[in-house]
Amino acid sequence: MKTGETILSVKGITKLFPGVVALDHVDFDLRVGEVHILVGENGAGKSTLSKCILGAYVPEQGTITLNGTKKSFKSPRDALKEGITAVYQEFTLIPYLSVAQNIFLNREYRKKNGLLDINRMEKESRELLKLINCEHLNVSSHAKDLTIAEQQMVEIAKALSFHPQIIIFDEPTATLSEREVGSLFEQIRKLRASGIGIIYISHKIQEFTQIGDRISVFRDGRKIATFGIHEKSTEEIVNMMVGRNISQVYQRNPNLYSGESLRVEGLCDYKEKVKHADLVVNKGEIVGLAGLVGAGRTELANLIFGIDRRKAGKVYLYGEEVLGKITPGKMVRRHIGFVCEDRKSKGLALKDSVAWNITAVSLRQLFPHGLIRYKKIKNVAESYRERLKIAVPTVQRPCKFLSGGNQQKVVLAKWLSAHVDILILDEPTRGIDMGAKMEIYELMNQLSLEGKSILLISSELPELIGMSDRIYVVHEGRIVHECKRGSAEFNAEDIGAMMLNVYQDAEGKAEWDE
Amino acid sequence: MSHLLEKTKESRAFYSFLGLIILVIICSLTSSDFSKIENYITIFRQASVLLVLSAGLTAVLILGGIDLSVGATAALVGCTCALLLKAGVPTWAVITIGLCMGAVIGTLNGFLVSIIRLPAFVATYATNWIVKGLAIVIMNGQIIFNLPESFTFIGTGYLFGQMPVLIVIALVVVSICYVLYQKTTIGRDIFSCGSNLEAARYSGIRVKRAQFVAFIMSSMFAGLAGLLMTARLNAAEASMGDSYGLNTVAAVVIGGTSMLGGEGGIIGTMIGSIMLMLITNIMNLLGISSFAQPMIIGLVIIVMVFFDSISRDERKTVRRGVAIPMNVQKRKDDIG
Amino acid sequence: MNKQLSIKKWKIFKLPPVIYMLLCLVIIFSIATPQYLSFQNIKNILMQSSTLMILAFGQTLVVLTQGTDLSIGAQVSMVTVAWITLARKGVPLPVGAIIVLLLTSCVGIINGLLVAKGKMPPFIATFGMQNVINSFTLLLTAGAAVTYSSNIFLIITESSLFGIKAPVFIAAGIFAVTWVILNRTKFGMGIFGLGGNPEALALAGVNTVKVTVKAYAYAGLLAGVAGLLTACRVESGQPTAGAGLEFESIAATLLGGTSMREGRGNVTNTIFGVLLLSVVRNGLNVVGITAVYQSAIIGIIMLSAIIIDSLARQSQERN
């Protein structure tokens, strides 16, 4: 096949998940020897599309045509047979197997006596790695001894061992340093030159011009546009990604409180995900933390709340330093709440009832003498069920039967019933419907009117901009910008650029962190 | 209202109760000796010791752990106390010392599980070994008989004319545990840790304290059970706890407490203990070899846990049985 | 980059803590009793550890899959009793040996199915199984020990080469087989995969249930071999011959650095774990501590070793 010919074309693909249209009649095509970038916010549909192409999901409607023939993939193995493979953002390597064994996992070469032909696997692995200029890697060392970038190269070698026509890269640079990204791109260009079609999913806009040929922008399960890489400016792309009518959804009323509630100084962790973070949250204020996935926002919240151990730095509450080891228990007693990102595995005890979950934190406040009265628990739970409009027939129902939005309300009720003064919200509206979202925004406004402080972490820029009074931008573990509501740069384009660290201010001067 | 809330917690105990009634009917039909009053009293007295032994273990299982050291702890406490009584130490002091020994062993278990972070079964298997070894050391192969009457009274005496002291003590233990597990904040913390340890941590619950409390309770009640055993038999020997290791786990599991944590209660354990003793009793009456009994009880445990496990939420099982793979967290987010 | 590699070559820093503990104990015992380091005593230690060694190799495989097998001690007892009983009933010893090996392999398969298909916590499934097997063993002979005499026993336990007796060679042979299984077969790759990244393993299309079942079956098979050797040594079937061996094998495996969670470990280091336990036991004998005290002392040393090991690893991970 010649460069420029269409190798894959997808028509009218629709994929439904309970309560969500993940893909809505999406058309898409990929040419031989091009890097096609998919871009959009979380949940926009780009990953779902790639999984449909890979056979991991079976779409409800639409067709996938490969080299002119229609295909329907029932499993990733079907797609693999046709030469479609992927390099995931999360690695599929087995830590205590050698590089060669990982590359040939479940396709091992064996000698006549049935034992593994280690020499042959290592020889072929070396050849594969040589293709991507990684002959320095020791094919007999354990996968866990490699750096992340090296693991990624092994993943690429593994993908190449299938002799692919199409490789999908799912945010491959999320965890790489700048230099490592450079060599990754070099390999991708080589792959492209060898006639492989490449689908590249990314959040990082500065990468697009370096690596891409065409871009497709996704939003809310639909493809907004496809165009050549140089046809549109970065600003226009960001606009397309986030563009929606913001003013109706987000209504933020400023209020009159003053005085700081939470102050963090020079906070660092052991994993080097957070580097010297300084931030201040005032009473009655909603402060946003913007940043890409993996920028260190959740890690920062975990440090403040005492889930992870801090390496250095101080946390002040109402001007008073929190001394000693920070533990969640200590923070709860000082009226700090944390609605964490992973609701199901860390936020709720799913098989316990709504009532137990709502009172999980406030139990000791409700019953300081240690004896529980069920009636009081029920009353408290009922009052929060009404206040937050949690749709559940009885508070004795286990949480696993609730929808995502109602589960999130139970988590919020858990912290409200403990009368927290400072609330950290990590992706509070992820995976919930619009109605529940707006109720949560309303609640945030109410809380701030009562003088309570909120630290909001979100990947949805419109939400951050709509709800925050102030936004800190986090990039690679550092807080690189701070902007106030009402200032010139308090808009999606500029903050989006700051998240990617490509922001240029009014004088046109690039601000580089390092 | 409060009824309903408890019911969701104890609903498994309700099924156990149904099982108990069916078992009683079957037993009465199979053996004419079964329905005699004396036989019932024997069963209840045996069940009392088992119940006290499993009372604290229930808390450990609710927490999502396991304590394999209760039998050995009972033996060590029983033996030590018998020796002390022979040496002339007053009964009240001996009982206090026995309970304190239990607490010390429980603290060791709690330390190993929550601070050193050993898997509960490894930690308690090790303590089981050591405690049993200590019992052998202090007894040096002998058996102690003829303990003072003030002590054997708790095992063989009667209160209010007809009521065996043993059963009264068991009922008191049940009441204490019921209040502790179902009606106090610390009991609730234990449930929360068993339901979802991570969520408990993220809710600011002091997880380590809950773990210590559960293991200490387990060993303290085991110590008490050791005293009761010694008093009932009016004798002590190093191996007297051996046969209980399996039975305690079985009693708790039959009573509806989940091996996987977060569900269960003392009422269930009470029913479970009685059921187990009924089974043992009827096997004895029918002349089934006592060697066969561990097999039946072992099978009962396997079957109960098997159904508990497959009825569980898939996710939960995966998380407990198999580690969370590297970086899979992010995969879930893509769907949103 | 290069510097990192050169540091990695200094494998001495990555030696499991058990080796240092082993060295310390050997030094202590050899100071306490001069004849400790004699050739005769070293031979004794190797001989005494051969049974546990074999068990621990099987346990290592199971632990690598994030499991545990608490039933292998009971299986050893069962094998001694069943084999001897069969022999007394007139079944030739080699035929009986094959029958009992098949029996323990089946027990292993059931264990594996309970864990992989039934999704039961491994320790409770195998704990239940332990009691079922013990019960079966007691039923076979009504709780009594059974004896049988044959030259075969002596040939197996006493024949020696260069002064080293056959069980040691058998253990060495099983070590070689286990090493090959772990490092040179597809099954071995599956075991490391189950421990390290089971999702990736399933994604690659490997049947994880099959791998788990095979691991438990292998542990059962080796328990059978260990049981046969034990029966040869004591020339009888003892219903309690294997009591506690399951825990010693787990302790040895953990001390050898095999992890219960992340698919890390190898069968070579398990040898050191077993040697540590054997050295302790042997040392107590040589120093002259009576049997009454041994169980408690061994337990305490084993637990301390596990604690030291766990703490050492935690601090290694932090750096």
Residue B8: pLDDT band (50, 70, 90) is very low
Cβ atoms of A216 and A34 closer than 8 Å? no
Q: How far apart are CA A283 and CA A281, in angstroms?
A: 7
Give percent of chain B with pLDDT exceeding 90: 48
Residue C10: pLDDT band (50, 70, 90) is very low
Cβ atoms of C281 and C294 closer than 8 Å? yes
User: Which chain C residue has the Cα nearest residue B120?
Assistant: C123
Q: How far apart are CA A45 and CA A57, in angstroms?
A: 12
pTM for the full model?
0.83
> CB contacts < 8 Å between A and C, how many?
60
State residue B11's pLDDT score.
Answer: 65
Structure tokens belonging to residue C108: 């292993």
Cβ atoms of A30 and A199 closer than 8 Å? yes
Residue B84: pLDDT band (50, 70, 90) is very high
Give the residue carrying structure tokens 């005499």: C149
Chain A: list its partners (3+ Cβ pairs within 8 Å).
B, C
Burial of B37 (0-12, 13-18, 19+ CB in 10 A): exposed
Cβ atoms of A302 and A289 closer than 8 Å? no
What's the Rg (C-alpha) of chain B? 20
> Can you give the residue ranges of every domain in chain A?
6-242, 259-335+421-434+450-500, 347-419
Rounded mean pLDDT of B166-178?
94
State residue A77's pLDDT score.
Answer: 78
State residue A305's pLDDT score.
Answer: 93
Q: Exposed e or buried b for every residue in B202-212, given b needs 16+ CB within 10 A?
A: bbbbbbbbbbb
| Contact with chain C for residue A148, Cβ under 8 A | no
Of B4-8, C53-57, C205-209, C275-279, minimum mean pLDDT range? B4-8
Of A95, A378, A430, the CB nearest to B336: A430
| Contact with chain B for residue C304, Cβ under 8 A | no
Apex C232 CA angle, C229 and C236, nearest 5: 120
Residue type, B313: D
pLDDT below 50 — which residues of chain A? 246, 507-514
Contact A91 B188 (CB under 8 A): no
State residue B117's pLDDT score.
Answer: 86
| Contact with chain C for residue A135, Cβ under 8 A | no
Residue B215, C-beta contacts closer than 8 angstroms, at least 6 positions apart: B60, B65, B67, B106, B107, B109, B110, B113
| Contact with chain A for residue C192, Cβ under 8 A | yes
State residue A447's pLDDT score.
Answer: 92
End-to-end CA, chain C: 18
Structure tokens belonging to residue A469: 């009074």
Q: How far is A350 from chain C (nearest CA, A)?
A: 19
Contact B205 A400 (CB under 8 A): no
* More confident position, B238 or A179: B238
User: Which chain B residue has the Cα nearest residue C306?
Assistant: B118
Chain C: list its partners (3+ Cβ pairs within 8 Å).
A, B
Q: How far apart are CA C137 and CA C125, in angstroms?
A: 18
H or E element at residue A23: strand A20-31
State residue A394's pLDDT score.
Answer: 87
Q: How far is C36 from chain B (nearest CA, A)?
A: 25
| Contact with chain B for residue A365, Cβ under 8 A | no
Enumerate residues 204 to 223 of chain C having a beta carbon within 8 A of any beta carbon in chain A.
204-206
Enumerate residues 90 to 119 of chain A having a beta carbon within 8 A of any beta carbon in chain C.
91-97, 101, 105-106, 108, 110, 114-116, 118
Q: Show the domains of chain B with their CATH numbers.
A: 45-310 (1.10.3470)
Cβ atoms of A47 and A203 closer than 8 Å? no
Apex A295 CA angle, A293 and A298, nearest 5: 80
Q: How far is B201 from chain C (nearest CA, A)?
A: 20
Compute CA distances A367 → A152, A370, B178, whole Å.
53, 5, 17
State residue A510's pLDDT score.
Answer: 43
State residue B335's pLDDT score.
Answer: 28
Q: How far is A5 from chain B (nearest CA, A)?
A: 30
What is the CATH topology of the domain spanning C18-23+37-311? ABC transporter involved in vitamin B12 uptake, BtuC (1.10.3470)
State residue B205's pLDDT score.
Answer: 92
Contact C201 A101 (CB under 8 A): no
Collapsing DSSP to helix, strand or coil, A311 comes out as strand
Q: How far apart are CA A327 and CA A280, in angstroms?
A: 20
Q: How far is B129 from chain C (nearest CA, A)?
A: 6
In degrees rounded to 5, what are phi and psi of residue C184?
-130, 15
Number of Cβ within a 10 Å radius of residue A455: 27
Rounded mean pLDDT of B70-98?
94
| Long-range CB contacts (within 8 A, 24+) of C27-36 | C28/C283, C29/C279, C29/C283, C29/C286, C29/C287, C32/C283, C32/C287, C33/C286, C33/C287, C35/C286, C36/C283, C36/C286
Q: How far is C180 from chain A (nearest CA, A)?
A: 8
Residue B63: pLDDT band (50, 70, 90) is very high
Q: How far apart are CA B200 and CA B207, in angstroms?
A: 7
DSSP-assigned letter for residue A353: B
Helix then strand count (H, E) for chain B reads: 15, 4
Cβ atoms of B165 and B157 closer than 8 Å? yes
Q: Is the pLDDT of residue B15 over 80?
A: no
Contact C299 B293 (CB under 8 A): no
In a mutational test of the C interface, the residue from B80, B113, B115, B125 whose CB has the highest number of chain C CBs within 10 Å is B125
Enumerate residues 87 to 126 of chain C having a beta carbon within 8 A of any beta carbon in chain B.
114-115, 118-125
The second-level CATH assignment, the architecture, of A6-242 is 3-Layer(aba) Sandwich (3.40)
Contact C189 A76 (CB under 8 A): no
Q: How far apart are CA C49 and CA C57, in angstroms?
A: 12
Number of Cβ within a 10 Å radius of residue B233: 19
Structure tokens belonging to residue B186: 């610390």
Q: What is the mean pLDDT of chain B?
A: 84
Residue C317: pLDDT band (50, 70, 90) is low
> Can you give the residue ranges of every domain in chain C?
18-23+37-311
What's the Rg (C-alpha) of chain A? 25
Cβ atoms of A313 and A267 closer than 8 Å? yes
Angle between helices A118-131 and A148-160 (to 10 degrees): 100
What is the CATH topology of the domain spanning A259-335+421-434+450-500? Rossmann fold (3.40.50)
Residue C177: pLDDT band (50, 70, 90) is very high
Contact B333 A42 (CB under 8 A): yes
Bridge partner residues of A289 (DSSP): A457, A472
Residue B318: pLDDT band (50, 70, 90) is very low
